[in-house]
Chains A and B, each alone.
Chain A
Amino acid sequence: MLKKILRAVGFMAGLAIILATTSIILKPKSDVYNAVGVDKKTKDFRKETEQSLDLVFFGDSESYSAFNPLQMYSEQGYTSYVCGTSLQRLCDTYVLLQEAYKTQSPKVVVLETNCFFRFSGLAEDDSDKVMNTFAKVIPVLKYHDRWKTLVPLKIFKHIDKNEGLLKGFRYRTGTEPYNGGEWMKKTEEVAGTGANAEHYLKKIKELVESNGGTLVLVSVPSPDNWTYAKHNAVEKISEEYDLDFLDMNLMQDELNIDWKTETKDGGNHLNFLGAKKVSSYLAKYLSEKYNLPDHRDDPAYDGWKEDIKESGMDI
């Protein structure tokens, strides 16, 4: 019996070593929430021609459902890219921003503000609390999916259209009407931001300014996610940190979004039709306010025209 127990202990010790090793291999260098999303975005982003982007967008799914760089290029002529990842936390934004500055020097950095209201830091996923507790001790449980970025898989690449054609924008087709009416009722209430959010925002601002750029806060219309109290919170932060803030939830007359047909999922995300209106308005606004360049006649940027053609965005 003693032999059996010793053997079992030996087996467990070996397993612990393997778990520790794989954890070290798979754990990302800095704190990120959606590690796989950040990895994938970094990889896609590096494919852009170096020093070719005037503007970079950050944010969660709100951002890549609403900001369409190809459309903005064809309308205003400046180049941009959406570094939005699903459920982005500001700690993810910070890591992605550092990555972005390795190959690009955007004049303007736009941050969609929905992620201000999420906890910033390592995963606090409430779906499986026991798993989270285990993952704190054994990080491989949390980062296991990163094998996808560590293992280079060349097969079938030619039929995989998912990768980076639309400069980070996602073309969303579904329609589910939003029937809730006005969601921005004026109030004095101020919503609380997610833990650590301000800490990371400060770091993001410093990084942008030390690279000679301007940080701009934008909130995409979303009846599901946005409230006046959240508006007040971001308004307060923008004043405190001296940042420009554009809340498109208050601009329904200008944007004229039809909530019956232009949202993908009942007022959470915009679909392609809604994105078209937001992108068009925002492109003009940013271009004028920050004096962004127009590359439409510059042959060095002809790749953009090809991308527009290939993606069918010109129709």
Chain B
Amino acid sequence: MAYHTIAYFAVFLPIVILLYQVFPKKIRFAVILAADIVFFWLFSGKLIIYLVCASLLTYFIGLWLEKIALNPGGLSNKLITKKKRRVLALGILLNLAVLVVLKYTNFFGQTLSDILNVFKVDWTYKPIKFMIPIGLSFYTLEIISYLTDVYRGTQKAEHNFAKVALYLSFFPQTMEGPIARFHETADALYSGESIKFDNLKFGYQRILWGLFKKIVVADRIFPTVKYIFGNYANLDGSIALFGAICYVTQLYMEFSGCMDIVIGSGQIFGITLPENFRQPFLAKNAGDFWRRWHITLGTFFKDYIFYPVSLAKPVKNFAKKVKKRCGRNVSKFVAPTAALFCVWLSNGLWHGANWTFIFYGMYYFVLIFIENILEEPLKKFTEKLHINMESVGFRIFRAIKLFIIVVTGELFFNAASLKDGFKMFGRIFTNFHISELISSIFQLKMDRYDIPIVVVGIILVTIVGALKEKNIDIRRKVSGWVIPARWVFWYAAIMLVIIFGAYGSGYTAVDLIYAGY
């Protein structure tokens, strides 16, 4: 029962809304919690035990940290910090251990056996089939953020277990996030405020917009992506490039569309979930792109890896040494670069145990590193040549450059293996005949009817995004219209999704991509 299925938004969600509203305020949180359990159970069944244990562990470690901080034994500040640090490490390591064992054992085993084979040691790794609970990668990060915040003292340890459980298991976030912070959702989830009519309306409107992106656009492109990535070896380079562009489009439409459904669902219950996308393709550069794409993952890495690593004593001391030797202009890059490396290695690994993802992480590490080093010289350079960085021409150039960067990254991201990625990438340069793409455009699993729909869908999403960048919200605009016009608008929107959606007979159901990470 993924979020884009009729079972979710037309059956499950309305039932939860109804029950929530019927029950008295005090026990409404229990309705949400019950819905969380049912939702999780439908995907992972008994594996819910992982989530239950993780919630209990998080709850008790939080309390333990608080107890140490209250300092009943009258210890020195230094000793308290040391003790707290050990407890935090215990909490994080226990949770990470589950993630690492379930997701990475096979990868490490395979890599080890590959290395041994190079040294002519005859040992083959037999992969173990692990059952992975849904959303493991997402709730593990939420646990880390909560425990670290309690350790840092920016978040009070929660004494009510229900709130911790609600925070970690809110059903709209289960499959694909967003990765929220404790203070963003827990209290609101527990409070059981009545559902407001406007929230219900706006929530469902946002869900409809998400369905449009996912069902009309992303799912229509999916067969093409699957076909081209599976058969690139026999296809022209122009088609391989087309496939990579299609994948970027599919991924954005699907992930951001799903987030619209998720955030809309939260809004119905008065929960403001953090946004995960902010017009990423309008970014200035690769670094800026990642402040606009999967935002909650980026801020998680920023707060819990980038800053701590940059400010860690060994890194700082090393930077000081460099400063003495090479001066400030070099030393100022030391700490951020070390931290950046850790962030992107984690980002790659988080997506899964595959060399393609590690490559993807390192790709962005190198790009953003270069961007940082070149920022100042480039500024001086453009000033000397009197290039206006805000002119339309320059912005178009910048957008195209970014798009090439993103498409290249996602090509490797979606390749079956690193070898496939390089082969497919190579084909674009060694075997490129645009005429091949034009003559076979309708043999790539999208017919003469599908392609216009996709193009119109992309244009619509682009317009809405461009307006949003200028702080114009179409939904709000529409709600100001007179009723007949407003109704016609929403009828048209609903029918657009129903008629032009790529679902039902003739289409294969497409699983959510990020639910696999």
The answer to whether B509 and A22 touch across the interface, beta carbons within 8 angstroms, is no
Tell me how many residues of B have a C-beta within 8 Å of chain A.
31
Report chain B residues within 8 Å CB of A1. Answer: 197
Q: Does B11 contact A (CB under 8 A)?
A: yes
The answer to whether B6 and A131 touch across the interface, beta carbons within 8 angstroms, is yes
* Also in contact, A35 and B442, with CB within 8 A (given A130-B7, A147-B500, A153-B448): no
The answer to whether B491 and A18 touch across the interface, beta carbons within 8 angstroms, is yes
The answer to whether A153 and B449 touch across the interface, beta carbons within 8 angstroms, is yes
Q: Does A4 contact B (CB under 8 A)?
A: yes
Report chain A residues within 8 Å CB of B10. Answer: 130, 134
The answer to whether A131 and B504 touch across the interface, beta carbons within 8 angstroms, is yes
* Also in contact, A159 and B438, with CB within 8 A (given A144-B498, A144-B499): yes
Segment 421-457 of B: residues with Cβ below 8 Å from A: 438-439, 441-443, 447-449, 452
The answer to whether A140 and B499 touch across the interface, beta carbons within 8 angstroms, is yes
Q: Does B494 contact A (CB under 8 A)?
A: yes
The answer to whether B6 and A134 touch across the interface, beta carbons within 8 angstroms, is yes
Q: Does A248 contact B (CB under 8 A)?
A: no
Contact of A157 among B11, B448, B507 (CB under 8 A): B448
Segment 11-38 of A: residues with Cβ below 8 Å from B: 11, 14-15, 18-19, 22, 33-37
* Also in contact, A142 and B495, with CB within 8 A (given A153-B449, A161-B442): no
| Chain A min CB distance to B438 (Å) | 7
Question: Beta-carbon contacts of B474-517 to A below 8 Å, as 1s and 0s?
Answer: 00000000010001001100110011110111110100000000
Taking chain A's interface residues, is the majority helix, strand, or loop, or is none over half, making it mixed?
Answer: helix
Q: Does A155 contact B (CB under 8 A)?
A: yes
The answer to whether B503 and A34 touch across the interface, beta carbons within 8 angstroms, is no
Assembly CA distance A14 to B495 (angstroms):
12
Assembly CA distance A172 to B463 (angstroms):
41
Q: Which residue of B lies closest to A11 (CB)?
A: B487
Contact of B494 among A15, A34, A35, A131 (CB under 8 A): A15
Q: Does A291 contact B (CB under 8 A)?
A: no
Segment 111-136 of B: residues with Cβ below 8 Å from A: none
Q: Does A135 contact B (CB under 8 A)?
A: yes
Q: Does B5 contact A (CB under 8 A)?
A: yes
The answer to whether A15 and B491 touch across the interface, beta carbons within 8 angstroms, is yes
The answer to whether A34 and B6 touch across the interface, beta carbons within 8 angstroms, is no
The answer to whether A123 and B448 touch across the interface, beta carbons within 8 angstroms, is no
* Also in contact, A4 and B442, with CB within 8 A (given A15-B494, A34-B506, A135-B504): no
The answer to whether A148 and B504 touch across the interface, beta carbons within 8 angstroms, is no
* Also in contact, A128 and B5, with CB within 8 A (given A36-B505, A160-B448): yes
Q: Which residue of B lies closest to A142 (CB)?
A: B504
The answer to whether A128 and B438 touch across the interface, beta carbons within 8 angstroms, is no
The answer to whether A34 and B498 touch across the interface, beta carbons within 8 angstroms, is no
Contact of B505 among A11, A15, A18, A142 (CB under 8 A): A142
Q: Does A241 contact B (CB under 8 A)?
A: no
Segment 105-141 of A: residues with Cβ below 8 Å from B: 123, 125, 127-128, 130-131, 134-135, 140-141
| Chain A min CB distance to B16 (Å) | 15
Q: Which residue of A lies closest to B441 (CB)?
A: A159
| Chain A min CB distance to B28 (Å) | 20
* Also in contact, A130 and B442, with CB within 8 A (given A34-B505, A37-B506): no
| Chain B min CB distance to A16 (Å) | 11
The answer to whether B487 and A131 touch across the interface, beta carbons within 8 angstroms, is no
Q: Does A145 contact B (CB under 8 A)?
A: yes
The answer to whether B509 and A128 touch across the interface, beta carbons within 8 angstroms, is yes
Q: Does A179 contact B (CB under 8 A)?
A: no
Report chain A residues within 8 Å CB of B197. Answer: 1, 4
| Chain A min CB distance to B515 (Å) | 17
| Chain B min CB distance to A133 (Å) | 9
The answer to whether A18 and B495 touch across the interface, beta carbons within 8 angstroms, is yes
Report chain A residues within 8 Å CB of B7. Answer: 128, 130-131
Assembly CA distance A7 to B439 (angstroms):
52
Report chain A residues within 8 Å CB of B498. Answer: 19, 22, 140-141, 144
Segment 23-40 of B: residues with Cβ below 8 Å from A: none
Q: Does A187 contact B (CB under 8 A)?
A: no
The answer to whether A35 and B505 touch across the interface, beta carbons within 8 angstroms, is yes
Report chain A residues within 8 Å CB of B449. Answer: 147-148, 151, 153
Assembly CA distance A18 to B492 (angstroms):
10
Assembly CA distance A162 to B444 (angstroms):
11
Contact of B509 among A19, A127, A141, A159 (CB under 8 A): A127
The answer to whether B439 and A159 touch across the interface, beta carbons within 8 angstroms, is yes
Assembly CA distance A130 to B449 (angstroms):
27
Report chain A residues within 8 Å CB of B487. Answer: 11, 14
Assembly CA distance A35 to B504 (angstroms):
11
Assembly CA distance A1 to B439 (angstroms):
59
The answer to whether A155 and B494 touch across the interface, beta carbons within 8 angstroms, is no
The answer to whether A144 and B442 touch across the interface, beta carbons within 8 angstroms, is no
Report chain A residues within 8 Å CB of B5. Answer: 128, 130-131
Contact of B504 among A4, A130, A144, A153 (CB under 8 A): A144
Report chain B residues within 8 Å CB of A14. Answer: 487, 491
Report chain B residues within 8 Å CB of A11. Answer: 487, 490
Q: Does A156 contact B (CB under 8 A)?
A: yes
Q: Which residue of A lies closest to B488 (CB)?
A: A14
Assembly CA distance A160 to B372 (angstroms):
48
The answer to whether B442 and A162 touch across the interface, beta carbons within 8 angstroms, is yes
Report chain B residues within 8 Å CB of A160. Answer: 442, 447-448
The answer to whether A162 and B499 touch across the interface, beta carbons within 8 angstroms, is no
| Chain A min CB distance to B195 (Å) | 13
The answer to whether A130 and B11 touch across the interface, beta carbons within 8 angstroms, is yes
Report chain B residues within 8 Å CB of A148. Answer: 447, 449
Assembly CA distance A268 to B487 (angstroms):
50
The answer to whether A162 and B443 touch across the interface, beta carbons within 8 angstroms, is yes
Q: Which residue of B lies closest to A130 (CB)?
A: B7
Report chain B residues within 8 Å CB of A18. Answer: 491, 495
Assembly CA distance A156 to B446 (angstroms):
13
Contact of A36 among B441, B452, B490, B506 (CB under 8 A): B506
The answer to whether A162 and B509 touch across the interface, beta carbons within 8 angstroms, is no
Assembly CA distance A125 to B507 (angstroms):
12
* Also in contact, A125 and B505, with CB within 8 A (given A140-B499, A144-B499): yes
Q: Which residue of A lies closest to B483 (CB)?
A: A7
- Residues of B at the A interface (CB closer than 8 Å) are 5-7, 10-11, 197, 438-439, 441-443, 447-449, 452, 483, 487, 490-491, 494-495, 498-501, 503-507, 509
A–B Cβ pairs within 8 angstroms, 12 of them: A14-B487, A87-B505, A123-B505, A125-B505, A130-B7, A141-B504, A144-B500, A144-B504, A145-B506, A147-B500, A155-B452, A157-B448
Sort A-B residue pairs by CB-CB distance and give the 4 closest, nearest first: A130-B7, A148-B449, A160-B442, A144-B499
Given contacts A22-B495, A135-B504, 15 further A-B contacts (CB under 8 A): A7-B483, A18-B495, A125-B504, A128-B6, A131-B7, A134-B10, A140-B499, A141-B504, A142-B504, A142-B505, A145-B507, A156-B448, A160-B447, A162-B443, A162-B447
